[in-house]
Amino acid sequence: MNDTVRRLQAHWVYGGALSGAVLLVLSPLLTAGWPLAERLVYLALPVYMLHQLEEHDGDRFRAFVNEVIGKGREVLSVRTVFVVNVVGVWGVMVLTIWLMRSVSPGWGLIGVYLLLVNAVLHVAQAVALRRSNPGLWTAVLLFLPLGVVAFSQIATMANSTQHAVSLAVVLALHGAIVVGVRRRLAAS
């Protein structure tokens, strides 16, 4: 792997945070004329990017997982964190916005469930471990309010298939992380 790719994988979160801030400031222009429900789903992307700064600044999340779950072993790699966040979050959110705007507003639920499931997992982990975790505060202060309001606006626009598929996609993304960590745990 060349040095540029290695640096991108190690420092993606800083470009993401800056991009999130820009997307947030541009949101009134970029979403002008959109229904409120769709504007709220759009906001999930820049808000998620800001959450990722709290979660991944200084490699906090990876270090936390490797310490708490891996007991000092590397069960979450820099490359995996990069792929999960850039492809699994940004890529999925971009696809969600495209589907919502070009196919059906109900597909915006993917982004809403992404916020809500992630927030619930952060809170559940904090309760289970009786300690904070990287990303907890933005999950509680940003994801929960935005997710609840967005869900209240877009849920009725979606059919039962969109609800089921959206939730399944989000659970599969989070499940893939757990499976990958467990595999690395078993191999070490």
Packed helices 60-68 and 36-56: angle between N→C axes, nearest 10 degrees: 70
Model confidence over 5-64: pLDDT tens digits?
999 999 999 999 999 999 999 999 999 999 999 999 999 999 999 999 999 999 999 999
Kindly tell me if the per-residue pLDDT of 1 is higher than 90.
no
Q: What is the pLDDT of residues 49-66, one digit of tens each?
A: 999 999 999 999 999 999
Region 141-163 average pLDDT: 97
Q: Where is 167: in which H helix or E strand? A: helix 160-187
Confidence of residue 187 (pLDDT cuts 50, 70, 90): confident
pLDDT at 133 over 90: yes
Per-residue burial over 37-52, b = 16 or more CB atoms within 10 Å of its CB, e = otherwise: bbbbbbbbbbbbbbbb
What pTM was estimated for this model as a whole?
0.94
Query: Is residue 188 very low, low, confident or very high in pLDDT (cuts 50, 70, 90)?
Result: confident
Q: Which amino acid is at 90?
A: W
Q: Is 179 exposed, middle or buried (0-12, 13-18, 19+ CB in 10 A)?
A: exposed
- Would you say residue 124 has pLDDT above 80? yes
State both tokens at 76: 């979450």
Domain boundaries, the chain: 3-187
Task: Tell me: pLDDT of 127 over 80.
Answer: yes
